[in-house]
Amino acid sequence: MSFSLPYIENSVKRVRVVFGGKYLIDSKQAKLVWEKPYYPAYFFPQEELPKKYLEHEKSYADKEVYDVVVDDRRARTAVTSYSSKAKELAGLFTIDFGSMDAWFEEEDEIFVHCKDPYKRVDVLQSSRHVRVEVNGTEVANTRMARFLHETSLRVRTYIPKNDCRMDLLEPSSLITHCPYKGEAKYYHVNVPGSKRQDDIVWWYRNPTPECATIRGYVAFYDEKVDVWVDGEKQKR
């Protein structure tokens, strides 16, 4: 989708925001706002500003910034409210997603950030022959790959662990989160005689329902390894 920023559209979802055991927001008037092209954020009309939980922090020419305070809990600079000088964002406010305890769309909790309604994720089973090498050593060889297609991103290849050299994969402490796929854990690749390649393999133990078929499969960071598909070496 191509549009000028900021781009604003109405959300049809009921959106609720929880902090310190309180619903700060329970809105049917939320707006999706793209301030950057990657994904939107939720904004709300000024009349829904939870004033009793706010302490003023600082002022700018076109906005006011507040801490959120509920009993002994404080989320610093978590709310930004835009004045009439803010042009497209005038009369709206937003809440820092990660500062809150929970966000809900209808009755479903959402994580990391709100989803882009124009993004799609498809997982397709493939019988293509996929090989992966790290520093000249084969670490995966399969005809049971699953290709994950995510709008605007590179296709990722998920491979059954049974078709990988798990003896060369060393668990990492790194964990990342994706609103479309869930919580990812990582592996280093440790090929004898060469430098360990850190965090170049990831997998999902409990992916979201729409990506359930990648459960337990691993994906290699294609930009950092050598991959062949049906004998053709892929560009990094």
CATH code (residue 13): 2.170.150.40
* 53 shares its domain with 136: no
Same domain, 188 and 84: no
CB atoms under 10 Å from CB of 83, counted, come to 15
CA separation for the pair 203, 169 (Å, rounded): 12
Query: What are the distances in angstroms from CA 68 to CA 46, 48, 77, 224?
Result: 16, 14, 7, 42
**What pLDDT score was predicted for residue 1?**
56
* Last-in-domain residue among 91, 110, 129: 110
How many domains are there within the chain? 2
For residue 101, being part of any structural domain is answered with yes
- Mark whether 127 and 105 lie in a shared domain: no
DSSP, collapsed to helix, strand or coil, labels residue 210 as helix
222 and 146, same structural domain?
A: yes
Taking only Cα atoms into account, the Rg of the chain, rounded to an integer number of angstroms, comes to: 22
Same domain flag for 106 and 69: yes
Same domain for 80 and 141, yes or no, is no
- Give the DSSP letter of residue 79: E
Residues 164, 199, 192, CA angle at the centre, nearest 5°?
Answer: 60
Q: What's the predicted TM-score (pTM) here?
A: 0.87
- Is residue 91 domain-resident? yes
Q: Return d(Cα 70, Cα 47) in angstroms, integer.
A: 20
Instruction: Please tell me whether residues 102 and 153 are part of one structural domain.
Output: no
- pLDDT beneath 70, residues of the chain: 1-2
Q: Which residue has the tokens 């994706």?
A: 178
Q: Single out the residue in 80, 110, 140 at which a domain terminates.
A: 110
Decide: 14 and 27 in contact? Cβ < 8 Å: yes
155 and 73 belong to one structural domain: no
The whole-number pLDDT of residue 2 equals 64
pLDDT value for 158: 98
pLDDT digits (tens, 9 = 90+) for 29-87: 999 999 988 899 999 999 999 999 999 999 998 999 999 999 999 999 999 999 989 89
Domain extent at residue 84: 7-110
Q: Are 18 and 107 in contact (CB under 8 A)?
A: no
Nearest alpha carbon to residue 161 among 176, 150, 153, 171: 171
- In a domain? residue 65: yes
Cα–Cα distance, 152 to 202 (Å, whole number):
20
* 116 inside domain: no
